[in-house]
Structure 1
């Protein structure tokens, strides 16, 4: 569903208002005062988060973000705060970054009501939020703030759909939609029942609305509610708490993260490519100790060792799971790179833009329809004609196509190195050790070498070994295939065209350190490790089709290259999640009911999209292991659950 941004407007007294719903975003007596009185105090905060490892707030109606900023500031100021604060919020009409910045600036300057003079840190928090404000695209967007102690998960889209897809256990609810008279859908019985399904034991709620229909819907959903003194000119507000018996009847029907993380935050990760290094960083950021094992002498020596790869989405007319996952992975991946760089890590990458050229005029027409249907911000996705495409590339191109303005190239080894260096004290590398088998003694997983020695061990084990997962799993458990890819490496003068990544049946990078990458071939079940002239010829032919004449005079014998073997899946989607038990499964079994191996997880099936999947898949798996709210919708988590293949007929 396309996202229609909120339009910046103000009431006569300066209070932000919505023309769409003909209502104000917060009390005219002050947005932060309302946030503190109604939502924080109404949920007994900060008292309830004290002494907790994690506390989860779920909000209906992010609006200008004042409730979030007030909660973040209160958490920051509390010396007894919980270890990590998760804030999940739905918004149908989010503000653009520029409008949100304008709104916050007006509040600080006193042009609008609500920015308290005694909270000077709010400007700092606003700036950090604005620096990471995501592209206005439907779906979930996870932002890591305050040294990753605060996670904001924004759900852009209709809350009736979004709440059904969020996987979380909320400790407190902020019900802050527009008036039930103006926006009844956000206070409907469906919304109230969805909130109850997302509630943790003892969850509370608060809202400024005391409408009789709201109280009735909440009570019917399982909340005990009561009126309390309101804020400012509003005499009353509403507080509530989930009834225990209602939680007992709903919890089992709601697939959710684990109730709590393992007692020992210690993991054994097999594989030090893009998948394994990204996961090591995501777990280490949560305080885990990682035993990272790889047969090679250093990380990123296999399929993750290319000079440059492409980090960009793959849209579709129906916005299918591949489209949504590649978009989410791309947006999170670039935010991850920016976060690593802010923390001082050096990564070779450039969001220089990506051109995906059409095959012919018929496909160009289809690509234009995709852009029109998705209606994403033009800086993320737009169509360009032949002339505009040629200008962007700095080379005469045969046709136009898609332009991804915020995408580009990444050097995978530099990203792997940055991931491992980010929390280096938590990551213990065991390089040059080939794992012959894995064993579990009931409490701990051990990586065993060919001589029977233990390389490393931990209570939690994650398989991220690329195509090597096939040798470490029972036959047929996961349908991972090996896809041989040969990349051609060509000489390139500094600042020579193309000035951005160009794709059509393959890809070519801009100049990187005097070279450019072109490729790549994709050959399933081909174990040849040597460079082949035929594959170089194929890559050069694709290059000439994209950039006619740019490789003139080059023959296959004139170019260098490298070969990698990528783990691929039959449906082209990755495999991310808990490792299923071997054995037959009835095809009618729900995914959450499929038995899983204790403490065992897998990251595989990335195919040619290792850069696209790796950061988000690592955050997803780390969240699943820890019991955090998930950064992806439930139906997308199901689409990449490794157990999905057990429910499909064998070919």
Structure 2
């Protein structure tokens, strides 16, 4: 297909994106990047272009070779090549032009991925090389995510016009019979749920200013601040402490890595998506001159048992995970990587490592610049929405900030402020142990497994961390140090028998929150009052059926995975607010939906 035909019939000579805040193109079968690059070039050249251009493309794993350099667009081609992702399944978010041009690659089979992506498309580009037998299925999948009057361009196929018309499209005549041009204008209701729209803000002046309140200045809150500011939002960041990153985000270092399980579970997929997106965003911060204290030699995970090592090695091969992502290693190779003997085989993450959470928070707030107002030393007691505006109050009733959007990123306190049914999160006490001049001095890379050990430099190793559910003791305990060292010794035998005096050990206690299913709470919060009033009708509801509290979102209950999940959480929430394509598949977003526990209660008839 000639791309000039696409521009003329789908983008309407680019006029359809003029003055728009967002414009989204969905390419149903990736062509190696040519159409994206040409669309990007057209966006660059148009002074009336949209504020943010989203280009979503479904790509089979077999088509994920590095793109070629287009002679007519060598600069943009090279930028795409430089940003090219690892060949692993899922969605990959690539950002250009300071985030104003976004390519989301959905890697997987077309029929499957079209059911998983969640967006509102303004234009479609459809190739037909592999879908002849499933035209009706594909047409309905496109209709599920089509915006009003969305336009479509496709290579001609004798059965395509009928399939499109049955799905709610109207086919237009084209001067060239080699192509089909259509627009989405259904004469009847064709879908149960509308695709994503930007949050409706009642006051037009407020809408122009785009104000938001973020409660909590740890990893979650600072990531949200940066992602909103990148879209022009002004953020009031409220923190009960007197600085950023004072709770668990204030630990001297944290490890980051994906997880590999015997099956490619929801948790494994979500952690993979979070890990890869975090690497991307951290690299952007580092390119901007911020030192995140990130290690660069990889991370080694030690298996819990010999059987576990064999099973994970088999899973890595079965899933086709590339060596740039993870490598199974035997005991000998693991010991070489660690710089000292290890107890068992395991697997190595070349892009994993350790990083300073506080440095990340500081960098994210720095790039937000003048769009950020920090309010330290203020504790939010409650929030209230009136006339389309949320207000945060302290315990004396004093108003701390107001805005049409509030994001709760304050860990264990979030469920209290939100008034969540059943109090689904619990507190977890974690104690760290810092070693000086120990048998772990020669450790080369972070080691994780049943505990972790992080080399912080000469004669300095961080170990941890205890996992004490509902323990509120803030004091460092000798038993916690003993537990940390014993668990690390099960992975690194050199530590066995090492008995430093507990009173000389340094440590730190911090508190996290977790849910019963160990998945985070990320996304729009439900309007629980309305849901309870309609409990009978909602007894068979799906997440998209639930009423939502307008402008209220949450990012909390990250447990020990704040580093891996926080940046992706921020991008998902920003996309939900703006009505942009989601950065993860809808089924993953539903697995972390803060309303999932309410949904289960409705299905079990707890309110009838």
Q: TM-score range by the shorter chain?
A: over 0.9
How many residues in Structure 1 have an aligned counterpart in Structure 2? 589
Aligned to 1:597: 549
Aligned to 2:157: 211
Cα pair 2:198 2:577 within 8 Å, conserved: no
Aligned to 1:202: 149
1:107-144 C-alpha deviation (Å, 9 max, x unpaired): 43xxxxxxx3xxxxx22212221222111111111111
Shift of 1:357: 0.8
* SS of 1:57 mapped into structure 2: strand
* SS of 1:568 mapped into structure 2: strand
Distance in 2 separating the partners of 1:45 and 1:376: 41
Cα pair 2:198 2:576 within 8 Å, conserved: no
Task: Say whether residues 1:533 and 2:478 are aligned partners.
Answer: yes
Cα pair 2:210 2:233 within 8 Å, conserved: yes
Cα pair 1:393 1:498 within 8 Å, conserved: yes
Shift of 1:397: 1.1
Task: Say whether residues 1:68 and 2:16 are aligned partners.
Answer: no
Cα pair 1:88 1:155 within 8 Å, conserved: yes
Distance in 1 separating the partners of 2:199 and 2:80: 28
Aligned to 1:250: 190
Residue pairs, 1:321-470, within 5 angstroms:
321-470=266-415
Aligned to 1:49: 17
Cα pair 2:57 2:106 within 8 Å, conserved: yes
* SS of 1:511 mapped into structure 2: strand
1:247-280 C-alpha deviation (Å, 9 max, x unpaired): xx135x1353224563251111110001110001
Misfit runs of 4+, over 4 Å: none
Structure 2: stretches of 5+ with no match in the other structure: 202-206
Cα pair 2:234 2:371 within 8 Å, conserved: yes
Distance in 2 separating the partners of 1:599 and 1:610: 23
Distance in 2 separating the partners of 1:78 and 1:492: 61
Deviates further, 611-620 or 455-464: 455-464
Cα pair 2:61 2:88 within 8 Å, conserved: no
Structure 1: stretches of 5+ with no match in the other structure: 1-26, 28-33, 109-115, 117-121
Cα pair 1:225 1:240 within 8 Å, conserved: yes
* SS of 2:577 mapped into structure 1: helix
TM-score by length of 2: 0.92
Aligned to 2:573: 621
* SS of 2:493 mapped into structure 1: coil
1:617-648 C-alpha deviation (Å, 9 max, x unpaired): 11001110111111111111111111110132
Shift of 1:224: 1.9
Shift of 1:502: 0.8
Closer, same or farther: CA 533–74 of 1 in aligned 2, 3 Å: same
* SS of 2:156 mapped into structure 1: coil
Task: Say whether residues 1:239 and 2:181 are aligned partners.
Answer: yes
Cα pair 1:261 1:626 within 8 Å, conserved: no
Distance in 2 separating the partners of 1:365 and 1:430: 51
1:383-428 C-alpha deviation (Å, 9 max, x unpaired): 1000111111111112111211221112100001111011221110
Shift of 1:477: 5.1
* SS of 1:546 mapped into structure 2: coil
* SS of 1:530 mapped into structure 2: coil
Distance in 2 separating the partners of 1:265 and 1:94: 42
Closer, same or farther: CA 351–184 of 1 in aligned 2, 3 Å: farther
* SS of 1:521 mapped into structure 2: coil
Aligned to 2:204: none
Cα pair 2:341 2:494 within 8 Å, conserved: no
Cα pair 2:20 2:50 within 8 Å, conserved: yes
Distance in 1 separating the partners of 2:335 and 2:228: 43
* SS of 2:332 mapped into structure 1: helix
Closer, same or farther: CA 45–409 of 1 in aligned 2, 3 Å: farther
Closer, same or farther: CA 440–191 of 1 in aligned 2, 3 Å: same
Cα pair 1:537 1:555 within 8 Å, conserved: no
Distance in 1 separating the partners of 2:422 and 2:548: 12
Distance in 2 separating the partners of 1:596 and 1:199: 22
* SS of 2:284 mapped into structure 1: helix
1:499-530 C-alpha deviation (Å, 9 max, x unpaired): 22111211111225863221111111100011
Deviates further, 439-448 or 195-204: 439-448
1:72-107 C-alpha deviation (Å, 9 max, x unpaired): 0000011111111000000113545xx425x32xx4
Deviates further, 461-470 or 290-299: 461-470
Closer, same or farther: CA 268–479 of 1 in aligned 2, 3 Å: same
TM-score by length of 1: 0.87
Which of 156, 161, 184 is equivalent to 2:132? 184
CA RMSD of aligned residues (A): 2.1
Cα pair 1:579 1:596 within 8 Å, conserved: yes
Distance in 1 separating the partners of 2:315 and 2:275: 18
1:30-82 C-alpha deviation (Å, 9 max, x unpaired): xxxx22x1222221131211121111100012131000000000000111111
Distance in 2 separating the partners of 1:496 and 1:190: 59
* SS of 1:600 mapped into structure 2: strand
Deviates further, 578-587 or 360-369: 578-587
Shift of 1:458: 1.0
Which of 205, 211, 222 is equivalent to 2:168? 222
Distance in 1 separating the partners of 2:186 and 2:49: 26
Distance in 2 separating the partners of 1:474 and 1:607: 20
Task: Say whether residues 1:162 and 2:113 are aligned partners.
Answer: yes
Distance in 1 separating the partners of 2:21 and 2:487: 53
